[in-house]
């Protein structure tokens, strides 16, 4: 017990504000009220340094007494002793938090008078949806003969025998324990119960105890499968229960179908049978159905299954072409689901996080020339990957009903092929890959009528640059024919690209060229940065206007504005070497802008060895 002075300080520290560290402080109820003792039930949720119950005579509220409670669990009970018969008392639950006292609601109760019966309504046992067991005890009748005893229960807080909301259950006997089994209760309902005792001195009630009957649950429901029967689709579904008692409730069921993923916009069909178990519903097999739900309902409400959609399915080929920064996947669209729908998009998506990728991550759409149908598709090589990195890749297909994904395929890209293929040629100081010159033949023609850009070989940026070249050449009475790129090393260990422009002035044997050069350096992340360039004097070039000269020079401007990957072709790919048989040792080159991977530059059509290229003086 606290001393009287300490109690005054304790009361002054109390407040009703919510304090950090404690979520709930609640004075739940008072029970087992007798002649000189009672029990307070409290609830404290959260961290506190001390908790318990304060109680006092209602006529002397400043004379607090306390009972500390242990910290085992949120709910606790505190025995209030040394009380006087027939007096009114108050109590509240408290908790010490950060030097403050947080208190719960104050509850007032009255002790029994001498001569009054001592009645106790105990805890309610075996509470179910519609039944419960009541326990109670008559300790003393107050000295009078017991004429009648029993339980009075109902939805009123203080049930009485004359309240029409309450039910009376007489129990024969005198002093001692009493029990009654209740049936016919309403589920999920709060009830209050008191013992009553009638003697020749009058009618007495115990303090009320309370309980809540259990709630029934909504039914479980799921789709089992589909079956096509002529011009109909049979949807099979099943219902279940969360609790065995839920089977007592009447359950209706059916399916809902629609052409959007909104249940509210769909059409409901009710099954011909009700209850728990499997059922079937037959619906028309038309193009307006792509989303299907199963539903079931009882008096607790309606439950809707996960939606099944008529998405197309897709399979990704595991043995795809994987290189250092790119891959060439193949995928197969296998069917359109149970309902036909036009395929809107397909492609692949990838992730290096280890999680299954989605189209919200990195993805590439298949560039379809015609409508997509169930078939096998091969995507061209594309960039955007990191070297020597593990990825998860999935194919996807989308129709009006949603997107489906293939099983994931694990790939690991190769190391940087520049490191594998570049080498220093001893004695000459030239830094060479296995193949050091590449040509892309844009046109091999003798007339302007055929001088068109072969778009299948060029990226969007390359097409724009080439169009400028073609226009500039025509201004000089020439026709753009092609370009050759090759890598060279400077005397200080740097590197540059020679860019040889080929053009024709008329006849097939009138091929001419001029060479420009642009230096580059390799960044720490393996990318390349182009910088200084030099134009080599040429009569055709020098005769152009400044505007057309700028059109020729724009490739260098583009290079200087971007960091690039230089992707050197792997040796296990075969390309025809210019003027010779198939070269199985060397590959192509790709220059890929880091920020615009779609605008990669590819040089693969003809390949030249060092001896086939003209000697050019080192300009750097």
CATH number for the domain including 200? Answer: 2.60.40.10
Tell me the pLDDT of the chain averaged across its residues: 80
What is the domain range of residue 589? 419-612
Is the pLDDT at 239 greater than 70? The verdict is: yes
Are 525 and 423 within one domain?
Answer: yes
Are 432 and 550 within one domain?
Answer: yes
Length of the chain: 620
pLDDT band at 264 (very low <50, low <70, confident <90, very high): very high
What CA dihedral angle connects 597, 599, 601 and 602, to 10 degrees? Answer: 80
Token reading at 385:
């990957």
Is the pLDDT at 17 greater than 80? The verdict is: no
Closest CA to 349 of 413, 417, 414, 404: 404
- Domain end residue (candidates: 94, 110, 126): 110
Question: Is position 408 within any domain?
Answer: yes
pLDDT of residue 434: 41
Q: What angle do CA 217, 222, 226 make, to 5 degrees?
A: 160
Distance CA 575, CA 589 (A): 12
Q: Based on the number of CB atoms within 10 Å of its own CB, is 25 exposed (0-12), middle (13-18) or buried (19 or more)? A: buried
Instruction: Report whether 169 contacts 151 (CB < 8 A).
Output: yes
| Residue 557, SS3 per DSSP | helix
Task: Specify the higher pLDDT residue, 603 or 478.
Answer: 478
Are 101 and 164 within one domain?
Answer: no
pLDDT of residue 493: 63
368-377 pLDDT tens trace: 888 999 999 9
pLDDT of residue 578: 42
Are 432 and 575 within one domain?
Answer: yes
pLDDT of residue 336: 73
Question: Is position 618 within any domain?
Answer: no
Phi, psi of 449 (to 5 degrees): -60, -30
Distance CA 562, CA 584 (A): 32
Residue 113 DSSP symbol:
P
pLDDT of residue 238: 96
Is the pLDDT at 608 greater than 70? The verdict is: no
pLDDT of residue 196: 92
Are 87 and 69 within one domain?
Answer: yes
| Residue 491, SS3 per DSSP | coil
Question: Is position 617 within any domain?
Answer: no
Q: Are strands 22-31 and 14-15 parallel, antiparallel or unpaired?
A: unpaired
Q: How many domains does the chain have?
A: 5
Question: Is position 139 within any domain?
Answer: yes
297-311 pLDDT tens trace: 999 999 999 888 888
Distance CA 561, CA 539 (A): 28
pLDDT of residue 230: 81
Instruction: Report whether 121 contacts 153 (CB < 8 A).
Output: no
Token reading at 605:
């059509």
Burial 262-295 (b: 16+ CB within 10 A, else e): eeeebeeeebeebebeebebeeebeeebbbbbbb
Instruction: Give the Å distances, CA to CA, from 488 to 428, 557, 560.
Output: 11, 20, 18
Helix (H) and strand (E) counts in the chain: 5, 48
Are 395 and 481 within one domain?
Answer: no
Place of tokens 């998860």: 392
Are 271 and 237 within one domain?
Answer: yes
Phi, psi of 542 (to 5 degrees): -65, -25
Max Cα separation, the chain?
Answer: 136
Q: Based on the number of CB atoms within 10 Å of its own CB, is 376 exposed (0-12), middle (13-18) or buried (19 or more)? A: exposed
User: In the chain, what are the helix, strand and coil shares in percent, each to the nearest 5?
Assistant: 10, 45, 45
- Domain end residue (candidates: 162, 190, 212): 212
Residue 553 DSSP symbol:
H
310-343 pLDDT tens trace: 888 999 998 888 878 788 899 999 877 767 778 9
The strand pairing partners of 67, in sequence order, are 53
pLDDT band at 509 (very low <50, low <70, confident <90, very high): low
158-184 pLDDT tens trace: 999 999 889 999 999 888 889 999 999
Are 363 and 427 within one domain?
Answer: no
Distance CA 596, CA 11 (A): 72
Question: Is position 152 within any domain?
Answer: yes
Question: Is position 620 within any domain?
Answer: no
User: Average of pLDDT values for 36-45?
Assistant: 91
Are 483 and 464 within one domain?
Answer: yes
Check which CATH number belongs to the domain holding 284 and give it. 2.60.40
Closest CA to 410 of 498, 484, 319: 319
Q: Based on the number of CB atoms within 10 Å of its own CB, is 556 exposed (0-12), middle (13-18) or buried (19 or more)? A: buried
- Domain end residue (candidates: 384, 412, 440): 412
The strand pairing partners of 137, in sequence order, are 120, 177
Are 239 and 124 within one domain?
Answer: no
pLDDT band at 435 (very low <50, low <70, confident <90, very high): very low
**CA of residue 168 relative to chain centroid, distance:** 56
Q: Which residues contact 427 (CB under 8 A, 6 or more apart)?
A: none
pLDDT band at 569 (very low <50, low <70, confident <90, very high): low
Task: Specify the higher pLDDT residue, 470 or 147.
Answer: 147
Are 563 and 445 within one domain?
Answer: yes
Question: Is position 472 within any domain?
Answer: yes
Cβ neighbours of 247 (radius 10 Å) = 14
Are 451 and 478 within one domain?
Answer: yes
Distance CA 329, CA 426 (A): 40
User: Average of pLDDT values for 516-525?
Assistant: 82
Is the pLDDT at 441 greater than 80? The verdict is: no
Please spell the DSSP secondary structure of 504-519, one letter per residue. ESSSTT-EEEEEEEEE
Question: Is position 619 within any domain?
Answer: no
Q: What's the per-residue H, E or C state across 204-241? A: EECCCEEEECCCCCCCEEEEEEEEEECCEEEEEEEEEC
């Amino acid at each position: 017990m606290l001393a009287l002075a300490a109690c005054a300080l304790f009361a002054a520290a109390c407040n009703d504000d919510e304090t950090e560290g404690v979520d709930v402080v609640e004075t739940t109820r008072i029970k087992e009220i007798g002649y000189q003792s009672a029990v307070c039930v409290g609830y404290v949720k959260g961290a506190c340094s001390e908790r318990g119950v304060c109680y006092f005579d209602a006529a002397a509220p400043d004379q607090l007494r306390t009972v500390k409670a242990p910290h085992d669990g949120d709910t606790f009970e505190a025995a209030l002793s040394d009380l006087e018969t027939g007096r009114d008392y108050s109590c509240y639950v408290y908790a010490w938090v950060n030097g403050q006292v947080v208190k719960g609601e104050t509850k007032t109760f009255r002790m029994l008078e001498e001569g009054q019966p001592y009645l106790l309504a105990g805890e309610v046992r075996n509470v179910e949806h519609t039944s419960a067991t009541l326990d109670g005890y008559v300790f003393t009748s107050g000295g009078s003969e017991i004429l009648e005893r029993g339980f009075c229960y109902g939805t009123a807080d203080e049930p009485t025998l004359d309240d029409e909301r309450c039910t009376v259950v007489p129990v024969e006997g005198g002093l001692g324990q009493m029990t009654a089994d209740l049936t016919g209760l309403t589920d999920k309902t709060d009830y209050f119960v008191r013992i009553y005792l009638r003697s020749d001195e009058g009618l007495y009630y115990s303090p009320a105890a309370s309980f809540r009957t259990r709630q029934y649950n909504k039914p479980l429901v799921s789709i089992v499968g589909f079956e096509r029967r002529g011009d109909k689709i049979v949807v099979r579904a099943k219902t279940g229960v969360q609790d065995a008692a839920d089977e007592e409730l009447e359950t209706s069921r059916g399916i809902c179908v629609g052409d959007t993923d909104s249940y509210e916009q769909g059409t409901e069909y009710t099954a011909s049978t009700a209850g728990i178990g499997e059922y079937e519903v037959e619906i028309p097999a038309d193009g307006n159905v792509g989303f299907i739900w199963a539903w079931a309902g009882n008096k607790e409400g309606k439950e809707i299954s996960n939606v099944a959609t008529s998405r197309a399915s897709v399979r990704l080929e595991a043995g795809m072409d994987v290189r250092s920064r790119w891959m060439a996947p193949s995928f197969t669209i296998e069917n359109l689901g149970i309902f036909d729908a036009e395929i809107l998009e397909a492609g692949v998506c990838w992730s290096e996080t280890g999680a299954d990728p989605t189209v919200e991550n990195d993805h590439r759409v298949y560039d379809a020339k015609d409508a997509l149908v169930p078939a096998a598709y091969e995507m061209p090589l594309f960039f955007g990957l990191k070297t020597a990195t593990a990825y998860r890749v999935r194919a996807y297909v989308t129709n009006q009903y949603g997107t489906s994904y293939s099983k994931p395929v694990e790939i690991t890209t190769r190391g940087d092929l520049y490191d594998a293929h570049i080498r220093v040629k001893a004695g000459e100081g030239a830094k060479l890959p296995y193949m050091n010159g590449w040509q892309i033949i844009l046109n091999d023609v003798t007339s302007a009528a055929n001088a068109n850009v072969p778009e299948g070989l060029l990226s969007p940026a390359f097409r724009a640059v080439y169009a400028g070249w073609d226009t500039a050449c025509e201004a000089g009475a020439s026709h753009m024919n092609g370009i050759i790129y090759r890598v060279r090393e400077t005397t200080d260990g740097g590197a540059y690209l020679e860019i040889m422009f080929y053009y024709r002035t008329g006849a097939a044997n009138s091929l001419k060229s001029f060479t420009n050069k642009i230096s580059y350096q390799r960044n720490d992340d393996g990318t390349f940065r182009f910088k200084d360039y030099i134009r080599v004097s040429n009569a055709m070039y020098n005769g152009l206007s400044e505007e057309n000269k700028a059109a020729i020079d724009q490739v260098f401007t583009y290079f200087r504005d971007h960091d690039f990957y230089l992707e050197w072709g792997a040796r296990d790919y075969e390309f025809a070497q210019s003027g010779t048989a198939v070269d199985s040792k060397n590959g192509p080159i790709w220059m890929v802008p880091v920020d615009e991977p779609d605008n990669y530059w590819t040089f693969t059509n003809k390949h030249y060895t060092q001896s086939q290229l003209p000697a050019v003086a080192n300009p750097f």
